Chains A and B, each alone.
Chain A
């Protein structure tokens, strides 16, 4: 389903880029809660979780393994299921929560995929019998392997394990062989729940004991905290991706700001610069008594080699006599990228994430949406994507460029301008008064006066009042009628490009200069080119921008 189709189904839908950390945080939160029901809980992240177990379903997330042994004296496995369901309901997952209990992880995963019941308990030692009549769709294997098995006439798990292991050897990939062992019970892969892994958090809190509002003091405090955190990050081989700093005034948190880093770093000086920029651009509104600083996102430090384009590398190899030149090129490129990244970090911290943008084509025909401003930070970060407010449809540039007027005019004069004029939009559009040409004609003995608006399919205005001044329309185009967006915010507009002129009388001193008498001697014309729009929805005329 495309985004547009989804919007047609649900108008409240908001586009958000996939963020792995949000999923991980939600899973960790649920694991911490599930600990109260069973001592050994873990998320299922191995090969069993990689493929769908139910026919036609997409890849599933949110799978947890719980140790269900030893519950005989604690109400039995049924009570465990009830407890887990109650807990899932408390977090809003109640209707979708399914539980399967079996001897092995695969069998329990298949048991949990039943839709009719909230839980299904496979009796001890009955895993093979439970799995035998099921279709091979439940097996976590590739689609290609599944199709090949079907072509061989193997449709159920019973038929699958009826053949000897040697029949699959050298004919299918390792996934098929592994699931064969698991179903047969001969596998060494013992997927089982484990004790929860303690995740380390990097955060510092300093209570200064008295109220303070000095930026200098705040930076001094933050510097000490950052140095401590950065030492820990470096010792663990990690780099910060996002900082979160919060300021308290007597237990009350009055300011919290997450600071995304374009350039992941564990350098305390750089991180302090980012904090300083944030505090300078948005000063604290109150005095603070305590400061909390945390590394809300971090990742493992990678040591990547600087990337060189293939063309550059080959040309360098051909042309450069020694590697010294290549090293120089690399140093220049690296320095350039460092400078750009630092610059972007400054702007992002002070002016916002969407301040630095680049224009891109968008596959839309409404003038406002045919091009979009895309933040230059998009695609830079390796570990997570920023949320995009706008969803855009990229165009096939190679195809469009064949017909683009700029490409077609390759042999145009060197000194000519790019086609078309640049518009500078007015937000909001200025409503204007418009005067039409009056025509007078008679039918029989009666005289009729009719406005041009009624006379023609395209109402052509004669004069426009813009910013309190009446302008005559010197030239005007026929309207470009565009409509659309009926599924959310209907647009139906007629766009005119008009050249307005305001005839002004230049007064110069004549013979009667001494008497103070002036006379008109010349007329000078001032021209303005505007985008005049008739909004059919609003039934009004607007100037949406001027061509500059």
Chain B
């Protein structure tokens, strides 16, 4: 009995000294590797369970595309993942591959929440259920108060789930440059790890069958990011694979009925 109390006291002290880095009895690992070397090799060895990871960037910055790859890797590894789509913005076709025959139905989405309060309630319930290994909470442009972080962290303490809060920085904030990140960093003090994303040059393109430089069928900007943890930050760049859509039944183009002279002048 005395030994048991001593061990539990020691655990508490270690938990306070090294938050999130102390393994309890049944745990075999304390982090989820993302499967992307650019993230796993920098500062962290994956995303920590029982902690909040902030995944942010402008509304169009490539953060969800990176996250989709991470989710696909997790599903393939046998983890259960759920995405809380607070504002019903996802398109099903982008995510069908995650539930392929190989992976099983490990990827779920929570949709149709009319209010952010409902999403927060749902997020807490999902964490407490201990059914999912990773939860993605898309908050859009909503800011997270320290109270909310405390609530989520309290729920996470009793589970073995990794929580990723997906945040869009408003365009106005992005315009303000570094000031915005400083401000958001001050607000979101509770995040264990923060990853910022943005699109940048160069923009890779795939040309169509004609090979003409105007015949572009797909564009893919480069995705850059910054990982910040414990006051340190490192840059990352994620490469992407081009993807040419191949849909059927496209209607025929409108025939060009201009005379050759007019067409030649127009092209000149």
A, B: real partners: yes
B239 touches A527 (CB 8 A): no
The contact string, 1 if C-beta is below 8 Å from chain A, for chain B 79-113, is 00000000011111111111111000101111111
A74 contacts chain B at the CB level, 8 A cutoff: no
A419 touches B242 (CB 8 A): yes
Distance in angstroms between the alpha carbons of A423 and B223 in the assembled complex: 15
Chain A residues whose C-beta falls within 8 Å of the C-beta of B251 in the assembled complex? 481-483, 492
Q: Which of A100-108, A111-119, A199-207, A344-352 has 4 or more CB atoms under 8 Å from chain B? A: A344-352
Chain A residues whose C-beta falls within 8 Å of the C-beta of B200 in the assembled complex? 525, 527
B208 touches A455 (CB 8 A): no
> Nearest Cβ distance between residue B107 and chain A, in whole angstroms?
7
Chain A residues whose C-beta falls within 8 Å of the C-beta of B126 in the assembled complex? 343
Given that A415-B239, A482-B249 are contacting pairs, would A404 and B221 also be in contact in the complex, using a CB cutoff of 8 Å? no
Contact pick for A421, options B118, B168, B220, B239, CB 8 Å: B220
Distance in angstroms between the alpha carbons of A414 and B69 in the assembled complex: 11
B90 touches A424 (CB 8 A): yes
Chain A residues whose C-beta falls within 8 Å of the C-beta of B94 in the assembled complex? 359, 371, 420, 422-423
Q: Which of B15-23, B143-151, B170-178 has 4 or more CB atoms under 8 Å from chain A? A: B170-178
A425 contacts chain B at the CB level, 8 A cutoff: yes
Contact pick for A372, options B65, B92, B177, B199, CB 8 Å: B92
A457 contacts chain B at the CB level, 8 A cutoff: yes
Q: What bracket does the count of chain A residues touching chain B fall in?
A: 35 or more
A499 touches B219 (CB 8 A): yes
Distance in angstroms between the alpha carbons of A476 and B251 in the assembled complex: 20
Chain A residues whose C-beta falls within 8 Å of the C-beta of B116 in the assembled complex? none
* Shortest Cβ distance from A409 into B: residue: B241
B95 touches A482 (CB 8 A): no
Distance in angstroms between the alpha carbons of A397 and B103 in the assembled complex: 13
A439 touches B266 (CB 8 A): yes
Q: Which of A65-73, A83-91, A181-189, A362-370 has 4 or more CB atoms under 8 Å from chain B? A: A362-370
B265 contacts chain A at the CB level, 8 A cutoff: yes
Distance in angstroms between the alpha carbons of A365 and B68 in the assembled complex: 22
Q: Which of B44-52, B56-64, B184-192 has 4 or more CB atoms under 8 Å from chain A? A: B56-64
A477 touches B36 (CB 8 A): no
A526 contacts chain B at the CB level, 8 A cutoff: yes
Contact pick for B107, options A359, A423, A477, A478, CB 8 Å: A359
> Nearest Cβ distance between residue B59 and chain A, in whole angstroms?
6
* Shortest Cβ distance from A492 into B: residue: B251
The contact string, 1 if C-beta is below 8 Å from chain B, for chain A 374-398, is 0010000000000000000000011
> Nearest Cβ distance between residue B264 and chain A, in whole angstroms?
10
B100 touches A397 (CB 8 A): yes
A511 contacts chain B at the CB level, 8 A cutoff: no
Given that A475-B203, A526-B174, A546-B59 are contacting pairs, would A359 and B65 also be in contact in the complex, using a CB cutoff of 8 Å? no
A406 touches B111 (CB 8 A): no
Chain A residues whose C-beta falls within 8 Å of the C-beta of B98 in the assembled complex? 359
> Nearest Cβ distance between residue B255 and chain A, in whole angstroms?
8
Chain A residues whose C-beta falls within 8 Å of the C-beta of B90 in the assembled complex? 422, 424-425
Dominant secondary structure of chain B at its interface with chain A: mixed
Q: Number of contacts between A and B (CB, 8 Å)?
A: 243
The contact string, 1 if C-beta is below 8 Å from chain B, for chain A 523-548, is 01111111000000000000001111
A373 touches B92 (CB 8 A): yes
Contact pick for A415, options B36, B62, B242, CB 8 Å: B36
B91 touches A357 (CB 8 A): no
* Shortest Cβ distance from B38 into A: residue: A415
> Nearest Cβ distance between residue A200 and chain B, in whole angstroms?
36
- Most chain A beta-carbon contacts within 10 A, residue among B67, B96, B125, B247: B96
B95 touches A359 (CB 8 A): yes
Distance in angstroms between the alpha carbons of A413 and B266 in the assembled complex: 44
Chain B residues whose C-beta falls within 8 Å of the C-beta of A458 in the assembled complex? 253
A443 contacts chain B at the CB level, 8 A cutoff: yes
Distance in angstroms between the alpha carbons of A137 and B4 in the assembled complex: 81
Chain B residues whose C-beta falls within 8 Å of the C-beta of A441 in the assembled complex? 265-266, 268
> Nearest Cβ distance between residue A491 and chain B, in whole angstroms?
11
Given that A347-B122, A401-B101 are contacting pairs, would A416 and B249 also be in contact in the complex, using a CB cutoff of 8 Å? no
Contact pick for B254, options A339, A457, A475, CB 8 Å: A457
Distance in angstroms between the alpha carbons of A296 and B148 in the assembled complex: 40
B7 contacts chain A at the CB level, 8 A cutoff: no
Chain A residues whose C-beta falls within 8 Å of the C-beta of B219 in the assembled complex? 475-477, 497-499, 529
A339 touches B131 (CB 8 A): yes
B238 contacts chain A at the CB level, 8 A cutoff: yes
B92 touches A355 (CB 8 A): no
> Nearest Cβ distance between residue A437 and chain B, in whole angstroms?
11
A357 touches B111 (CB 8 A): yes
A145 contacts chain B at the CB level, 8 A cutoff: no
A-B contact pairs, 6 of them (CB 8 A): A356-B109, A372-B92, A414-B37, A422-B94, A527-B221, A547-B62
